[in-house]
Structure 1
Amino acid sequence: MKKSILLVLLLLPLVLLSQSKELLPLQEMENDWYLLENGWHYQQGDNKDWANPAFYDSTWPQLSSGYLKAPDSSTNNSEENIIWFRSKIVIDSTFNQQFVMRIYQTGASEVYLNGNLIHSLGKVSSNLDSVVYYNPSREILSFPLGTQTEQVLAIRYVDSPDRFPLYSSSSGMIIRLSTLHHATADPPLLQYKIRYYIVFGVAIFMLILFLAYFFFFPTEKINLYFAIWSLFFILFIIAVLILLNTHERPFLAEFSIGFFLTFQAFLILFCIYKILKQKFGLLFWSVVVLAAFLIGLLFFFDYLFITQIIGTIVLLEILRVSIKSLKTNKRAALIFLIFCSINIAFWAAIILDQLSIIEVPSLWLYQPFAFLLMPLSLAIYLGYTFGNRSKSLITKLKEVEQLSEENHHILFTQNETLERQVKERTSALNTSLENLKSTQSQLIQAEKMASLGELTAGIAHEIQNPLNFINNFSEVSNELLAEMNEELDKGNIEEAMIISKDIKQNLEKVAHHGKRADGIVKGMLQHSRSSSGIKEPTDINKLADEYLRLAYHGLRAKDKSFNATLETDFDENLGLVNVIPQDLGRVILNLITNAFYAVNEKAKADIEGYQPTVTVSSKRTPLLGGAGGGSQVLKIAISDNGNGIPKDIVDKIFQPFFTTKPTGQGTGLGLSLSYDIIKAHGGELKVETEEGEGTTFRIVIPVT
């Protein structure tokens, strides 16, 4: 009996000691975060001596909970806004790994270990107006636990006096411990934020996409609804990012998350109702009223709890409507049914993981992408719809082609019948028929010459400019001759002499451009033989300026109502550049002519305040990455402030025979030949354009 009593007396202190200590399971801490929820004592009030490890706290009330909360206080003493928590921690002296901690809190705290302040998270004060709240969330905080037999963790804490939500289940403080090795391997909050930023970018893309679809197809209002949903989805993501990037607990951000998530969920349901052609009956409006009611509950309960309820209700309704529509709109309903089922499964796993019913490691990291599941179903449906339209258009196109072939066959049959009747009725037409056959042979021969089409069309295109000058100066000379005759009739010899000088100058210009046309023909023949010609030192500024003035005056001679501002920005230190002057001149002239055409077309629209402007600039700069000081590039830019080039054709402008000019005003070879000329110089011809603003062509040629 005495031995039993002695054994009880020996074991009793150990039992009492174990009740006041937190025995850390070392094996679990090596692989996970350990929640400190046992062995706590707490006391309201404020006394810094309570951080002393020697302080006797056994008389304090005990607390065993994952959330360290301040109990309700019936006193108005301001010091009782502060509450102290104390726990004794014992670790194995052989455990030599470094400890860290994570703290989630809705207030401010001071963390003491063995009487030493190791962390000050915010500002603790008995005056609530002076309290600074700080939630470190998933930050890794140092925790210098030693290998002593017993260590005291003391927390001086004041909770947030937030007015809303009234009944928060997540208020208070949570403390988790782990090893530094596991903490650094744990997925950081940054990965979670990055995923939300990715979702944010996708949401902006969808907003632009749906707005574009609505702009091009305004009769399809569903695209506008998609766009409005995308806007509220973006606002929801912004509110989430604000909450993730703050260390406080802003109720406005939490309320915004709940509000925008509810509204965009309602819009998805609305769109699916529209797509599946379901009537907005009592059940739909019941969901709307319930959602509005739940939004009001955000002032009373945590937003996470409310949004989970709203999301579950909307997903279940989408599931119901999709199943109901399988017979009437099978493909669309099947798309929504599949994605809705995946969504429900994911959120069910999230909730079960939160309730610790099942364990899915790092599932929360993929939560941002889960919000994209239903939008993705809408995008897939949209793609499916456009695919069906494309198939329908292809079918109609085939029908048109078939009708065309049938009409062609009918026409061919009628021609044969007519030809037979002509032969039968008169022999006088035999001669005409032979002539027709001869003409057909000539056409066949012409088709054989089509291989020379690029050369022939190029000559016709390039020679048009000097011919225009010759025609214009000839017309002006005729007018001057008429004026000179009038002056001679009046006896004004001096005036007649002045006019004759102008006529002489015009004739010189006619001769000059005639020779120039001859040079163009020769240059085009050289081009057709794939010859790059002979390079020679050339004054690029003079060449560009000459073509700028000639092109402008040539257009003015044809249309005297046209006016434009000519701007030049030539590099005075450009010097002579070794190029093929005729070829490069034709490129510059072609680009300048196109620029004048662009500004002239925009000027015809009578836009108030619009001043047609064409700018030509040149520059000589070092070649990036070039070896030595002799590697340089020649840059020539021709800009206009015309209407710009539409995006859907900007990739086609350098193709042969492609032109946007009316029939008879362009062959479509100018830019193609210009591109080949610059390429033959070892350079590049680039285009920069913006619809409604203008176009800039840039010539970049390496020189030495």
Structure 2
Amino acid sequence: MLALLLGLAPRHAAAQAAPDTANAVLRTVPAAGTVLDHGWKFKAGDDPAWARPDFDDRAWASINPNQHPQLLTQVRAARIGWLRLRLQVPDSLRTRALVLLFQQTCASEVYLNGRLLHRYGRVSAVAGQVRPAGFTADPLEVHFSGPTEQVLAIRFAPWPPLAWFKDNINFMRVRITGLPGLLKRNVERAVGPVANFATFAVFLLLSLLHLSFLRYNPAQRANFYFSLYAGAGALGFLALYGGWQVQGMASTLALGMVGDVFLLMSYVWAVRALYALFEYKPGRTYTGLWVGLVVCLALSEFTQLTSYSVLTSYSFAFFGFVALASAEQLRLTMRALRQRKRGAGIIAAGFVGALVFAFIYAMLIITQAQISFRVSSSLVALMALAPALSISLFLAREFALNSELLLVKLRQVQDLSAQTLAQQQEKQALLAAQNEVLEQQVAARTAEVAGQRDRAEQALGELKTTQHQLVQAEKMAFLGELTAGIAHELQNPLNFMKNFAEVSTDLVDGIDGERHDPTQGAGLEAEILVGLKQNLQQISQHGQRASSIIKDMLAHSRAGTGERQPTDLNALADEALTLAYEGLLTTDKSFRATLAREFDPGLGPVPVLPQDLGRVLLNICTNALYAVRERQLEATLMITAGTPAADYEPTVTVRTGRADGPTVEIRVRDNGVGMPAHVQEKIFEPFFTTKPTGEGTGLGLSMSHDIVTKGHGGTLTVRSREGEGTEFLITLPA
């Protein structure tokens, strides 16, 4: 690319023409100059005598040095060598001041008729000591005085590192021109760096411009990729501009390679920007472009040539990749045109322009036309800037449209704000009028409320009386449950006493019969007396049981003293569970349940109000038994209806033990019907019950909660899951 941009592309017809063994004849020097590309002789080695004009060089090999170094095998093999040209100069030119222009890839010393004219770099037979000059050497002024035949001898040494690079620059090109041609050449050469720097500046401004667009509109990711595209183009043209400024072949080659990398990368980023702009997803084609970029750089920079032609030249690899990337850009743009995407026409025009400029430049090279610096620089700049300017124009237009849309929305917001302010003022006036009306209504209602307050106080008194009556009714309900349980408990020992008394009566009658029947032995009488004694012992035991029950009944019937007494909680809980179960049996003789008692034997006495806490436990145990009975009834109904049901065993468990800290706990757990969450939230509220009408007042758990929390300073909580069971937890300070 560097050679193309510097205008050093050779004319392939001249480069590949067979060397002429005859002496070169310089008849005239046109304004553009004459390239000395035939009549040269070559010999490897080094001898100062080879610079003399009278040296016989007829045995030397003919050569055309105006070819690529890779094609000159004899030059590549020589560490140092000489080139000689016998030039026939007419009298008309020997009086003119002429200029020799050298473009070379080696270090050289130029001799005319045996006299040293100039050294370009440092010539040495040692490869490591060779220091070439730049590609374009300084002009060398010559005066062809003396004989008609002039001998131009060049002592040269190839630069070995050049073998690693591939560029479109020939080994040595010697052109002779006059002072007007030199001035024209200098003017044209000034266009190259100016064009490169101007293109760099445009790309840099575009990159910064789209970075600012991205800052104000981060959602438009195309600005980010286009900024990369413009930034890569800016770095590429900056490297090309540096190639004009530096001295030395190594620096020029390095900057040329850097320029190639960034310029080719810019085309790939341009494709990515179009994908984002038109909202297309990158696919294999985009990945293939990156692969093609690597292949193109390898072919154009480091691949060695075995033959030189247009199809294997640097320009074909470089412009071939540019054509592929531009074709993909054009394909995306045409697809966007078919889908009627906004701005696709502007971008298409830019890429079409770039393809046109690239085609013109490629045709000029392929047809071996002479390309001036001005033309080549202009075509390269236009080829690079056409798509960049079109995309920038589109994105700038989008930014302007978005800004205009924002202004329209801003005006709409301002109008809505003014409208809202007017509405708020109207509302405030309306609220002021309504407040005045409300004040009047409040004054009227205040007088009315004053009269209603008396009636409300009267209703409140009636409500308190009703609540007191309900509390008394709940107490009577507790007493009824207690009485029923005690009656059932008394019934058992009394039945035993009655039965054993009847058996004892029969035994006494048996003794009387024995006395009237002498056939009976004395042993039968002793056996009857033993049985009679055992019956009397059983009667005494059950009598004591009845007496104990009566004592407990008297203890329950007494009003609490209000003083806490050390109480065996295990016994109190066991008695409450038994009374609750016996009470339920009086109403449902078919009901059976498993009563599990898990008492802590090391619990010890706890100071409580036994009568009050006994009522709490009796109420909770009664509720637990009621819940398991309800679930048993549901299971029975399902079986009766023919619906399969799991085996169910009603179970109520009472557990006592010590908790964390100086507290004890009593747990009453059942596997009954359970309670939903909304019932658990209200379970301790007064007058709330889940039992059918007539079976509960809703004050049992409320009073139990007050007894535990207020009377004992403990806690009463419930945890239940519907369909699985319920657990009440009582915690008391020890």
TM-score (ref. length: structure 2): 0.49
Letter in 2 for 1:286: G
Letter in 2 for 1:124: V
Q: Which residue does the alignment assign to 1:86?
A: 84
- 1:303: how far off? 6.0
1:300 aligns with 2:312: no
State the distance in 2 between where 1:139 and 1:374 align.
37
Q: Which residue does the alignment assign to 1:189?
A: 189
1:328 aligns with 2:330: no
Q: Which residue does the alignment assign to 1:253?
A: 255
State the distance in 2 between where 1:67 and 1:178 align.
20
State the distance in 2 between where 1:111 and 1:291 align.
41
Which SS does the other structure have where 1:325 is aligned? helix
Any idea what the Cα deviations from partners look like across 1:492-521, whole Å, max 9, x if unmatched? xxxxxxxxxxxxxxxxxxxxxxxxxxxxxx
State the distance in 1 between where 2:134 and 2:225 align.
38
**Aligned CA distance change for structure 1 residues 188 and 163 (closer, same or farther; 3 Å):** closer
- In 1, are the aligned partners of 2:213 and 2:399 still within 8 Å (CA)? no
State the distance in 1 between where 2:368 and 2:27 align.
22
Q: Which residue does the alignment assign to 2:392?
A: 379
Alignment match of 1:341 (pick from 348, 352, 371): 352
State the distance in 2 between where 1:214 and 1:254 align.
31
Q: Where do 1:196-275 residues align within 5 Å?
A: 196-244=196-244, 245-250=246-251, 251-275=253-277
State the distance in 2 between where 1:164 and 1:242 align.
23
1:350 aligns with 2:369: no
**Aligned CA distance change for structure 1 residues 194 and 318 (closer, same or farther; 3 Å):** same
Which SS does the other structure have where 2:53 is aligned? coil
State the distance in 2 between where 1:72 and 1:55 align.
25
Q: Which residue does the alignment assign to 1:113?
A: 112
Q: Which residue does the alignment assign to 1:291?
A: 293
Q: Which residue does the alignment assign to 1:644?
A: none
**Aligned CA distance change for structure 1 residues 373 and 23 (closer, same or farther; 3 Å):** same
Which SS does the other structure have where 1:386 is aligned? helix
**Aligned CA distance change for structure 1 residues 45 and 65 (closer, same or farther; 3 Å):** closer
- 1:138: how far off? 6.4
- 1:57: how far off? 1.5
Q: Which residue does the alignment assign to 2:401?
A: 388
State the distance in 2 between where 1:196 and 1:243 align.
10
Which SS does the other structure have where 1:43 is aligned? strand
State the distance in 2 between where 1:106 and 1:155 align.
13
State the distance in 2 between where 1:386 and 1:354 align.
40
Paired positions, count: 400
- In 2, are the aligned partners of 1:37 and 1:65 still within 8 Å (CA)? yes
**Aligned CA distance change for structure 1 residues 289 and 71 (closer, same or farther; 3 Å):** closer
**Aligned CA distance change for structure 1 residues 31 and 327 (closer, same or farther; 3 Å):** same
State the distance in 2 between where 1:261 and 1:236 align.
5
**Aligned CA distance change for structure 1 residues 137 and 305 (closer, same or farther; 3 Å):** farther
Segments of 5+ residues of structure 2 without an aligned counterpart are 1-19, 305-312, 434-734
State the distance in 2 between where 1:376 and 1:357 align.
31
**Aligned CA distance change for structure 1 residues 146 and 372 (closer, same or farther; 3 Å):** farther
Letter in 1 for 2:400: G
Q: Which residue does the alignment assign to 2:591?
A: none
Q: Which residue does the alignment assign to 2:175?
A: 176
Greater CA deviation, 340-349 or 325-334? 325-334
Q: Percent identity of the aligned residues?
A: 22
- In 1, are the aligned partners of 2:76 and 2:158 still within 8 Å (CA)? no
Q: Where do 1:528-607 residues align within 5 Å?
A: none
Segments of 5+ residues of structure 1 without an aligned counterpart are 1-17, 422-704
- In 2, are the aligned partners of 1:210 and 1:223 still within 8 Å (CA)? yes
- 1:210: how far off? 2.5
**Aligned CA distance change for structure 1 residues 71 and 410 (closer, same or farther; 3 Å):** closer
State the distance in 2 between where 1:71 and 1:202 align.
41
Looking at CA atoms only, which structure, 1 or 2, has the larger radius of gyration?
A: 2
**Aligned CA distance change for structure 1 residues 383 and 138 (closer, same or farther; 3 Å):** farther
- 1:331: how far off? 4.5
- 1:270: how far off? 0.7
Q: Where do 1:665-676 residues align within 5 Å?
A: none
Q: Which residue does the alignment assign to 2:330?
A: 319
State the distance in 1 between where 2:336 and 2:243 align.
39
- 1:179: how far off? 0.9
1:104 aligns with 2:103: yes
1:157 aligns with 2:170: no
- 1:163: how far off? 5.8
Aligned-residue Cα RMSD (Å) equals: 3.6
Letter in 2 for 1:300: T
State the distance in 1 between where 2:68 and 2:89 align.
22
- 1:258: how far off? 2.3
Letter in 1 for 2:303: F
- In 2, are the aligned partners of 1:195 and 1:369 still within 8 Å (CA)? no
Greater CA deviation, 105-114 or 144-153? 144-153
1:363 aligns with 2:366: no
State the distance in 1 between where 2:97 and 2:76 align.
42
Which SS does the other structure have where 1:134 is aligned? coil
Any idea what the Cα deviations from partners look like across 1:548-593, whole Å, max 9, x if unmatched? xxxxxxxxxxxxxxxxxxxxxxxxxxxxxxxxxxxxxxxxxxxxxx
- In 1, are the aligned partners of 2:243 and 2:255 still within 8 Å (CA)? yes
- 1:363: how far off? 0.7
State the distance in 2 between where 1:264 and 1:74 align.
38
State the distance in 2 between where 1:309 and 1:165 align.
22
Letter in 1 for 2:73: D
Q: Which residue does the alignment assign to 2:55?
A: 55
1:72 aligns with 2:37: no
- In 2, are the aligned partners of 1:93 and 1:148 still within 8 Å (CA)? no
Letter in 2 for 1:345: V
State the distance in 2 between where 1:179 and 1:192 align.
22
- 1:169: how far off? 5.2
- In 2, are the aligned partners of 1:239 and 1:256 still within 8 Å (CA)? yes
**Aligned CA distance change for structure 1 residues 141 and 346 (closer, same or farther; 3 Å):** farther
Any idea what the Cα deviations from partners look like across 1:168-193, whole Å, max 9, x if unmatched? 55351111111111210232433311
* Greater share of residues in helix: 2
- 1:67: how far off? 2.5
- In 2, are the aligned partners of 1:41 and 1:60 still within 8 Å (CA)? yes
- 1:23: how far off? 2.1
Which SS does the other structure have where 1:371 is aligned? helix
TM-score (ref. length: structure 1): 0.51
State the distance in 2 between where 1:191 and 1:74 align.
34
Any idea what the Cα deviations from partners look like across 1:363-406, whole Å, max 9, x if unmatched? 12323454222222221111111122134234445655776898
State the distance in 1 between where 2:385 and 2:291 align.
25
- In 2, are the aligned partners of 1:94 and 1:147 still within 8 Å (CA)? no
Which SS does the other structure have where 2:101 is aligned? strand
Which SS does the other structure have where 1:46 is aligned? coil
Greater CA deviation, 397-406 or 298-307? 397-406
Q: Which residue does the alignment assign to 2:575?
A: none
Q: Which residue does the alignment assign to 2:39?
A: 39
